[in-house]
Amino acid sequence: MNKIAIFLADGFEEIEGLTVVDIVRRAGIDIDTISINGRLEVNGSHGIQVKADKILADINKDEYTMLVLPGGKVGTENLEACDELIDMIGNFYGAGKYIAAICAAPSIFAHRGFLMGRKATSHPSFESHLEEGGATVTHSPVEIDSGIITGQGMGASIDFALTIVEICAGREEALKIAKAIVHHSPEFE
């Protein structure tokens, strides 16, 4: 059974985080929003406050099959400063479990060497981090390579979320959700 954890830090990009939660839940996949702040309330980068499902310190890390990181420059910096989260990401990477990040957040993977020799994408202003980490930057809306999913930014949020659905529930389910939300993308038509 797939269960996803999406991590929220003050300064996260709301559309990137909440689009994933919405679309994944529409597909019937279990996903928890997890605050790294030590409190349930998380302040997005555009002044939208969100109440997370759980706090990082209270989760059972073994129950998750995929980790997702939304972007936002400040949110990404806050995620990367959280040692407990970085350890969890490293453990998932080492175990070959899926990890996903969008916008600025793929830079976290690059800084740890996870993208060395892999295709990846990010917000254009963070592509240098990926290149310095040994990735081949594709400029695609979404890229999957060896269990690592990366997304370009807010405009790719729906495709990023649908890719996660496809991995967890299959192509048919992703196409069904895309049709239901009237999403038009070459990848999901």
Active site residue: 103, 135, 158, 174, which one? Answer: 103
Concatenated DSSP letters of the chain:
--EEEEEE-TT--HHHHHHHHHHHHHTT-EEEEEESSSSSEEE-TTS-EEE-SEEGGG--GGG-SEEEE---HHHHHHHHT-HHHHHHHHHHHHHT-EEEEETTTHHHHHHTTTTTTSEE---GGGHHHHHHTT-EE---SEEEETTEEEE--GGGHHHHHHHHHHHHH-HHHHHHHHHHTT---GGG-
Tell me, yes or no, if 103 is annotated catalytic.
yes
**Residues classed as catalytic:** 103
